[in-house]
Structures are given as C-alpha cells and as structure tokens.
Amino acid sequence: MSSVSIKIVCGCALMFWLVIPFRLHAQASAWGAATGAKKEATKTKGKLKNLKDHIEKWGLDSSYNRAFLLGGKINTDGWSGCVWFVKRKNYTNNIWQISFSEIRHEKQTKQKGKNTTFPELGNATPYVFGKINNLYTLQVGFGKEKILLPGVMEGNLSVSYRYNTGLSLAMLKPYYLKMLQVDYTNSPPIAHILQDHYTHEDSAQFLNDKLILGASTWSKGLDAIDFVPGAYLETALAITPGKHKTFVQQITLGLNAALYYKPLPIMQGQQAYPWQVCLFAGVGVGKRW
C-alpha cells in the first residue's frame, strides 16, 4: 500500500469518528426535545380535561334538582335585569323570579341642549325633550315551567313553556333638567342654572328648548319617587342548551303585562296608561346542582 492510500484511509477513519458521534448527539437532542414537547402537550391536555370536569360538576350536572340564573332581557319598551331560581320536579319546574326594568316611552328621543349666550355656565348636554318622569318597575313572582320538548336534537336542546305572576311596583322618578334663569334687569344680563322638573305651572319654561342646558344627574329626584303598586303576568318560551354540552344558559322569548292602580306618565303631551305591555328576548347564565 502506498503512502497516499494510507493517508486516505486514515482520513476517512478520522472523519468517521468525528461525524458519527456528532450526528448521534444531534439525534438524541431532537428526540429529547420532541419528548419534552409531547410531555408538555399531555400535561396541558390533562389540565384542560380537569377544568372541563370541574365545570361539569359545578354547573352542568345533568341530574340537577335546582338552578340559579342571572340574566337580562331586551324589551320592546326598555330593558330588564333578572334573577331566576328554578326547582326541578320531573317535567314541571317551579320558578321564582325577580326583575328590575326601565320603561321608556316610544316618543322619547335625546337631543343636545343649547347654550351659546352664556358659555361660562358650562357645555350643553343631552336630554329628552318633554320627558316628565323616569319609569322603573320591580317585579317579584312565582310560576311554573312545563317541558314541551325534552332533549330534542340528540339531547342538545330542550324547549319549555313557562309562566309566572306576582307583584309589580312602579317607580316614577321626576326627570330633572338644568334650566337657564336669566336676570335681564342687569346690564349685561346675569344668568344662573336652576335644576327643576316639569310641573303644570312652569310648563312653558320646561318646554322652551332655548332655556334648557341639559339633563341633571340621574340621582337628582331619588328623594321624590312616586311608588305605584300593581300586579303582572309573564309568559315565555324557554330554550335550554344541552347541560352536558355548554355552560348553563337559557334563552327566553315572551310577553310581560302589568296593571297598576293609576296611570304612569312619562312624556308631556302623551297619553298615560295604568298598564304596561311588552315583548322581550332574554338570556340567563348560572349554576345547576
């Protein structure tokens, strides 16, 4: 064997001993990284499964006997915040309901106050022209829920009919405005702000938009609320998603009607009635156990 051949063989051997350990080390590192990523993914998946199991045990128990729901409704004449407590009894449930609503007149619209003559009194703010009172209602009642379609759509949805009735308390809070009061006996005229609500005696001033700076703060008039008792009746269809598929929630579509012992005026110049009727769409979320 020539000296050149010996050199070539020695070079190949040296490269073998250098390259092979390096490639083995790289493969080991890649395998270790893949194993670590797989362990991390398994750990994350386990946490998510535990969280899912916890939620199902906390609020999505398929064999529940009671339910507590919080939610709200969009009404054709305003909005409502609601609390429901349901006690399950086979295919008929008992329901206790508490709701607080704001009733708005169909004619009320906001507009911007006008104050260009006395800018030192502040900027004009939005208000409702001709509004006499803010109207709120508090309803407390009891009713029944009858399951019409239990577990349709492969157990993912149920439809029920419900009704409840009880006491309704209407609250008429005077609607205050910031009015411009101008003293023209001075030169130049001096103006100041007077916060007042509508009365028959000062109706001309109250309905003069040039003298209205804007609406007072909401708390103004809380000490002068007029309470009007009455009764209500509510009927609705309740759509409940599958208890084992999603967090507890319920969609309701229905009608609410209330009757009071005297008319409830909201807007000046509009007929006031002793009753309120509205359609609504609502949603509730909560806990079953």
Count of C-beta atoms within a 10 Å radius of residue 66: 13
Residues 6+ away with beta carbon under 8 Å from 140: 97, 98, 166, 167
**Domain definitions of the chain by residue range:** 1-59, 67-288
The model's confidence at residue 1, banded by pLDDT at 50, 70 and 90, is: low
pLDDT at 104 over 50: yes
The better pLDDT of the pair 237, 30 is held by 237
Number of residues assigned to the chain? 289
Q: Which two tokens stand for residue 130?
A: 């001709």
pLDDT at 125: 82
pLDDT at 199: 82
The model's confidence at residue 89, banded by pLDDT at 50, 70 and 90, is: confident
pLDDT at 252: 94
Q: Which two tokens stand for residue 263?
A: 């008319």
The better pLDDT of the pair 203, 154 is held by 203
Task: Report residue 162 CA to chain centroid gap.
Answer: 22
Please give the Cα distance from 289 to 287 (Å, whole number): 7
pLDDT at 166 over 60: yes
Q: Is 7 left (phi over 0), alpha (psi -120 to 50) or beta?
A: alpha
CATH class of the domain whose range is 67-288: mainly beta
HEC per residue, 203-236: HHHHCCHHHEEEECCCCCCHHHCEEEEEEEEEEE
Q: What are the distances in angstroms from CA 270 to CA 3, 12, 130, 209, 274?
A: 117, 104, 9, 18, 13
Portion of the chain with pLDDT greater than 70, in percent: 68
pLDDT at 61 over 60: no
Q: What are the distances in angstroms from CA 208 to CA 112, 194, 202?
A: 13, 14, 10
pLDDT at 27: 56
Least confident of 110-119, 141-150, 260-269: 110-119
Q: Which two tokens stand for residue 37?
A: 């990523």
Please give the Cα distance from 117 to 278 (Å, whole number): 43
